[in-house]
Chains A and B, each alone.
Chain A
Amino acid sequence: MKNNSMYLHPELETMTRPEIEKLQMERLKTTLQRCMNAPFYKKRFEEHGLKPEDIRSLEDLRKIPFTTKQDLRDNYPFGMSVVPLEQVVRLHSSSGTTGTPTVILHTQKDLDEWANAVARCLYMVGLRPGDIFQNSSGYGMFTGGLGFQYGAERLGMLTVPAAAGNTKRQIKFITDFGTTALHAIPSYAGRLYEVMEEMGIDPRRDTKLRTLIIGAEPHSDQQRRRIEDMLGVKAYNSFGMSEMCGPGVAFECPEQNGMHIWEDYYIVEIVDPETLEPVPEGEVGELILTTINREAMPLLRYRTRDLTRILPGECPCGRHHKRLDRMKGRSDDMMILKGVNIFPIQIENILMQFKELGSDYLITLTNLEANDEMTVEVELNEFIDDYGFMQRLTKEITRQLKDEILITPTVKLVPKGSLPKQEGKAVRVKDLRKTLI
């Protein structure tokens, strides 16, 4: 007998694999029919001589061409809607910092299902009505704001839309309202602790904070453990992306070992980012998602650019929804230096092992006289008045980085808080290399 109180949606969360796949196939069929309402998909299917009826099994999904961020841009703003605009009740747009913005549209049912997914995630990590949930995400267009707001409210928690920034006020809310659960990006969780320390607040003694939801920013397990230690909380990794709604796509269960991706909402594939062929189960590749529970704007085989893998094996929590490993970076984050492929997360994993270092770092790539150079600036957590110590620390970091990435970077220790931040997210890589002709 399963203890149903563990699951918000037991009938969906504990489906067996055959049950999941049956539901996916039904929902995929409906989705494909609906897609034919959008000129974009209609044209694309015609170009490939494909009809929705040709997709008879989940295997057949591979016949469908990928959808990319560029497709979203090309059809900005409403070109990919499969419903008339009067049925659309919400729009979220990306910032457009890297090109034309992309727009995601939602019907009322889409918003309901989104709230359900987020509520399911929060319930899964033990949050219940009676918990007080504070959300330090930016609101407005950034989906981490409204996404968690609606999900936490759907669950029945008192939800505090604290929004981003103003750290002292954030801490005041935590202590005054007795906040038990907080959503924050990992680097901000570290910042909160610093300011608490300065204010003489011990998070264990002076707050009721026990659960932390972290996401939106790639981080290592060491970083998570460090945040848990500092704040005296359990921290759960959350995965979402604005193209898929926002938060609520995949989430860690109490096992803290991989994020269950809700397969009643998405069909998951992992492909080699170069060949676009499926990788063997358990290997790292690009995450491809097909939405099967969305009305306004279904995405078929969307290339997320996120690199991850499916964790093999069963999860003891009783859910058979596949588990994604933590993100290994983005396929477009990959740096190629002197012919070596390097992901920022590799560097981060090394840096996080040094207790003297903070969690913010900046990788700068330059090429002087056609020679690729990497500089890693990292913030010192605790300042130690000792040149000798800092020199030895710098040397040791350099040595360990070289062992990992096979290139010797220049390591610079910088004061805490001195590295640039954008919209609360730490900037990780700056590529200043000039293309040589």
Chain B
Amino acid sequence: MTIHQLSVFVENKSGTLLQVLNLLKEANIQLIASTISDTVEYGIYRIICSEPQRALDTLKEAGISASVSDVFAITLDNTPGRAADAIQQFSAAGIGISYLYSFLLGGKGILVFRTDNADKTREVILEKRLSYIEEKDLSQLQ
């Protein structure tokens, strides 16, 4: 129920994002989804991509601070209100969402998120039979 997320520490300086993207381009890594929000001095650029481990090695070799971690990924039907229904389940269990972003893949909505309680989140996903994806599903869905 988790997929790998590549996180890159980027300075708020013109050109840093492009440098990261160019390195991934040269390594022929495909981006599936990515997000970054506005901050003052630095940002965390979070990426779902093909071959996250190889992407990490590529960036680290270029001296860029990055890490790969696991994030939850659940799939939703592409109809209004499904995200609210899903999040309602976590909220009811007292789970806090640290961050969340979503994208469409193969006609399905994918909700990527991290919570303040991974074990409890797992329980809720299983108990409420939420449909989720794993790392291997990503390549098939493309």
- Residues of A at the B interface (CB closer than 8 Å) are 198, 380, 383-388, 390, 412-418
Q: Does B11 reach chain A (CB closer than 8 Å)? A: yes
A383 touches B63 (CB 8 A): no
A414 touches B42 (CB 8 A): yes
Closest to B57 in A: A198
Interface residue ranges of B98-114 to A (CB < 8 Å): 98
Q: Does B124 reach chain A (CB closer than 8 Å)? A: no
A383 touches B7 (CB 8 A): yes
B-side binding surface: helix, strand, loop or mixed? Answer: strand
A383 to B69, CA, bound (A): 11
A383 touches B67 (CB 8 A): yes
Q: Does B138 reach chain A (CB closer than 8 Å)? A: no
Inter-chain contacts of B5 with A (CB < 8 A)? 385
Inter-chain contacts of A384 with B (CB < 8 A)? 67
Task: Give a binary string over B1-32; 1 marks a CB under 8 Å from any A CB, 0 the rest.
Answer: 00001010111000000000000000000000
Knowing A383-B65, A385-B44, A387-B44, say if A415 contacts B60 (CB, 8 Å): no
A418 touches B67 (CB 8 A): no
Determine how close the nearest CB of chain A comes to the CB of B28; give it in whole angstroms: 21
Q: Does B125 reach chain A (CB closer than 8 Å)? A: no
A416 to B39, CA, bound (A): 19
A413 touches B44 (CB 8 A): no
A60 to B7, CA, bound (A): 66
B67 touches A385 (CB 8 A): yes
- 7 smallest CB-CB distances across A and B, nearest first, come from A385-B7, A383-B65, A415-B65, A417-B63, A383-B9, A415-B9, A412-B41
Q: Does B64 reach chain A (CB closer than 8 Å)? A: yes
Determine how close the nearest CB of chain B comes to the CB of A199; give it in whole angstroms: 11
Inter-chain contacts of A388 with B (CB < 8 A)? 98
A383 touches B66 (CB 8 A): yes
Task: Give the most central of B5, B44, B46: most A CB within 10 Å.
Answer: B44
Determine how close the nearest CB of chain A comes to the CB of B112; give it in whole angstroms: 13
Inter-chain contacts of A385 with B (CB < 8 A)? 5, 7, 44, 46, 67, 69
Determine how close the nearest CB of chain B comes to the CB of A382; give it in whole angstroms: 8
A198 touches B61 (CB 8 A): yes
